[in-house]
Amino acid sequence: MDKTGRATGHYQSEIRTSLLTYHDVLIHDPVVYGPWLEGSSKRNRSTRFKGYHLWRRARDVTQREAGSIAQDLLPPYLDRIGGRP
């Protein structure tokens, strides 16, 4: 963040993804302060800042909405493979 407390976009710009298999994606967080921002470093235990928990919150939202996401995205593929009556 800059001095006003606004995000600068640097952290987001450093995130990279790699396709492992057809349905598995690996997310790379190469920023040295990434664990501190998440709240998972030892340093978070000794300071007032407990992290933003961005990755945990993203995981929880994705898991919660996975069913509706699949409902929206699967129909064209099911039609192509003859999987719908």
Per-residue pLDDT tens over the stretch 7-21 = 888 888 999 999 998
61: left (phi over 0), alpha (psi -120 to 50) or beta: alpha
* pTM recorded for the entire structure: 0.66
Domain spans in the chain, listed from the N-terminal domain onward: 10-81
At residue 17, what are phi and psi to the nearest 5 degrees? -125, 150
Which residues lie across from 27 on neighbouring strands? Answer: 17
Structure tokens belonging to residue 24: 């598995």
* Cα–Cα distance for residue pair 41/38, rounded to 1 Å: 8
Per-residue model confidence as pLDDT tens digits over 28-61: 989 999 999 899 999 999 999 999 898 999 899 9
Confidence band, pLDDT 50/70/90 cuts, at residue 1: low
